[in-house]
Amino acid sequence: MNEAVPEPMTQNPVEKGCEERYFQALRAYLEGAGEQALGQAYELGRTTVSEGKGILEFVAMHHAALQKLLSDHTTAGDATQVLRHAEEFLVEGLSPYEMTHRGFSDAIASLRHLNQTLEHEIQKIAHAVHDEAGQLLVAVHLALAEVARDLPSSMRGHLEPVTGLLDQLEKQLRRLSHELRPTVLDDLGLVPAIRFLADRVSKRTGLVIPVITRLEDRLPRNIETAVYRIVQEALTNAARHSGARNVRIRLERVGRVLRCAIADDGAGFETSAVLASQPRKGLGLLGIQERLSAVGGTLKIRSILGKGTELLIELPLEE
Amino acid sequence: MAADEVRVAIKLGFSSGDITLIATAISELARNILSYARQGEILLRTVDGSNRTGILIVASDEGPGISDIRQALRDGFSTSGSLGMGLPGVRRLMDEFEITSEPMHGTTVKVKKWKQ
């Protein structure tokens, strides 16, 4: 077997310089250097954070330094005291990590909020397109009918193409509004919306799309939206690229996890190649992953050339 | 950086977790003074709210001041590593945060943490 050389434990091992400085500062602190040494611990923590070093690497550096010091007889003395001071020093060095951790938590919260705002905006646009523009079109139809009534019958024929165009416009608006955000998702929830979507795609493409689920409850709105969008994207992919005849959608809730599997019997693909390539249209698999990570979910892709593709999505549900 | 300050916090009865956070805020404020104004001072005192006790930290310097405070309170998203550091970081660690600055005259940051 061609065993690869074992990877080093970390991708960016803390540089020697850093380790040496940490060791020196820790020794100084244990020898009673006080505040000044603690300041160095803090600075080192800040440096490693901004260099993108992980918290475990930092702890490993501490561990190595402490081990070296403990085996050194010059620091022999009250072991409990040495350990207590070493811990103070470590906490000081780790506190910049606490700060960035809070920063990232806030950033994630902002992203989630932004996502919700965007969905809300989309909903408003969908409403404007469907209801408001739709009503205007109805008014135009009525006005045209009135004009037609007043026209001599020989002229009425000229209005027919206009009515035909208006009908087309209405259909397009309805389709657009639905693609933006189906009202059934807000009114009836995820499962009816997915069934409705499957039905439409099936009619348009000839794919057979059974939706298998016993899920009845409404789920948090952001979850419903995310899953709906993912299924929408997956069906688009299956219809466009896979050449499948059947796509099976399964939705189930297992404890606090919502599971959704979308499996087709199409051509399949090389997962790594597809994930690496830039999507040409829409967001594709990348979009699915982004949507999922916004709600803390995961995506698994199993694809076998000539056999088909299965997307397995798992999302945590809060109690 | 903050052993004396920590003693004040211990005396007030803060939890050890909070004490670490307070010490971190002080370290960061001190660092800010050193890197922008070179010298300044950090004062600590206890504060009494209507039915709570807390610690007030005032970090002031007579450095060049901050011309755009909003910018200074924004996280450095440009470099991922620095996200959450500096004044935005201090603000997250504490319960209350107040900053005044006058270009050429210096900066004063007042932060409070209440005992849970």
**Predicted local confidence at residue B2, as pLDDT:** 53
Query: Which string of b and e fits A287-318 if b means at least 16 CB within 10 Å?
Result: ebbebbebbebebebebeeeebbbbebbbebe
Residues of chain A contacting residue B82, judged by C-beta atoms under 8 Å apart? 49-50
Report the C-alpha gap between A112 and A147 in whole angstroms.
52
pLDDT at residue A282 tops 60: no
Report the C-alpha gap between B30 and B87 in whole angstroms.
11
**Predicted local confidence at residue A158, as pLDDT:** 85
Residues of chain A contacting residue B24, judged by C-beta atoms under 8 Å apart? 95-96, 98-99
How far A100 CA sits from the closest chain B CA (Å)? 4
Q: Do A103 and B2 touch (CB under 8 A)?
A: no
Q: Do B88 and A95 touch (CB under 8 A)?
A: no
Q: How far is CA B96 from CA A148, A171, B54, in A?
A: 71, 55, 11
Confidence of residue A313 (pLDDT cuts 50, 70, 90): very high
**What pLDDT digit, counting tens, does each position of A180-193 carry?**
888 888 889 999 99
Q: Do B3 and A104 touch (CB under 8 A)?
A: no
Report the C-alpha gap between A177 and A11 in whole angstroms.
47
Q: pLDDT: is A92 or A280 the higher one?
A: A92
**Predicted local confidence at residue B5, as pLDDT:** 62
pTM reported for the whole predicted model: 0.64
Confidence of residue A6 (pLDDT cuts 50, 70, 90): very low
**Predicted local confidence at residue A76, as pLDDT:** 55
Residues of chain B contacting residue A102, judged by C-beta atoms under 8 Å apart? 84, 89, 92-93
**Predicted local confidence at residue B80, as pLDDT:** 47
Structural domain boundaries, residue B105: 3-114
Q: Do B85 and A49 touch (CB under 8 A)?
A: yes
Residues of B with CB under 8 A from a CB of A: 1-3, 20-21, 23-24, 27-28, 31, 75, 77, 79-85, 88-89, 92-93
Report the C-alpha gap between B98 and B7 in whole angstroms.
24
Mutation choice for B interface testing from A90, A100, A111, A114 by most B CBs within 10 A:
A100
**What pLDDT digit, counting tens, does each position of A42-73 carry?**
999 999 998 888 999 999 999 999 999 888 75
How far B64 CA sits from the closest chain A CA (Å)? 23
- We report the CATH number of the domain holding residue B22 as 3.30.565.10
Could you give the number of structural domains in chain B?
A: 1
Residues of chain B contacting residue A89, judged by C-beta atoms under 8 Å apart? none
The amino acid present at B101, given as its one-letter code, is S
Residues of chain B with pLDDT under 50: 1, 78-80
